Chains A and B, each alone.
Chain A
Amino acid sequence: KQEVTQIPAALSVPEGENLVLNCSFTDSAIYNLQWFRQDPGKGLTSLLLIQSSQREQTSGRLNASLDKSSGRSTLYIAASQPGDSATYLCAAMDTGRRALTFGSGTRLQVQP
């Protein structure tokens, strides 16, 4: 059974810093890995999706990497802004059922 872990659980940084959020998964037989953002009391917004055959994806100031063999993914946020404050969730999609297994999230606070 897939298990997804995110470290750290919470992170507070000053505005302008570059930061890395970590995600690890126990079963490397994944179809893809998605990173989401969740604002308090809101739904999930998809940020990046990395297919199992890919190593990384980039969107603006965000870069996500995937190392299937080691069961790890990272989300890199460049030049953080207060508007980046949210909970970031990673989720691994299994190859059979196409269901996502979520980590517990990293709560990010960017201080102005």
Chain B
Amino acid sequence: DTAVSQTPKYLVTQMGNDKSIKCEQNLGHDTMYWYKQDSKKFLKIMFSYNNKELIINETVPNRFSPKSPDKAHLNLHINSLELGDSAVYFCASSPQTVKSYEQYFGPGTRLTVT
């Protein structure tokens, strides 16, 4: 009965590789997000999608490309990985109701680039 799930939970890879992180939510929410938590534990928005449409695209290198095949999934693909990409990546979702845009977070994916 997991609400927001991410795979993999841990990802260790070398510089220059391309990797993907998958996110799925079974809450029926319309909006999904990707956040990055750096080594200092600071969380920052990267992207958001509403019904498969890109809404927010922060100042993120274009090596990062989100893809939303349907409104329950938002995947993050990263090309040419760099050391500075090492972080924990969190997926989140929220309903699009007037009353609330409460965000629900996944467990995170710890990416380590060596």
Question: In this complex, what residue of B is CB-closest to A38?
Answer: B41
A17 vs B113: C-alpha distance in the bound complex, in angstroms?
Answer: 42
Secondary structure type dominating chain B contacts: strand
Question: In this complex, what residue of B is CB-closest to A104?
Answer: B42
CB distance from B89 to the nearest CB of A (A): 11
Q: How many residues of B contact A (CB 8 A)?
A: 25
Interface 1/0 per residue, B48-84 and A, CB below 8 Å: 1000000110000000000000000000000000000
Question: In this complex, what residue of A is CB-closest to B94?
Answer: A98
Secondary structure type dominating chain A contacts: strand
16 A-B pairs with CB atoms under 8 Å apart are: A32-B101, A32-B102, A34-B102, A34-B103, A42-B107, A43-B90, A43-B106, A46-B103, A46-B105, A49-B102, A87-B41, A89-B43, A91-B43, A97-B56, A102-B42, A104-B42
Residues of B whose CB lies within 8 Å of any CB of A are 31, 33, 35, 40-45, 48, 55-56, 90, 92, 94, 99-108
Residues of A whose CB lies within 8 Å of any CB of B are 31-32, 34, 36, 42-46, 49, 51, 87, 89, 91, 93, 97-102, 104-105
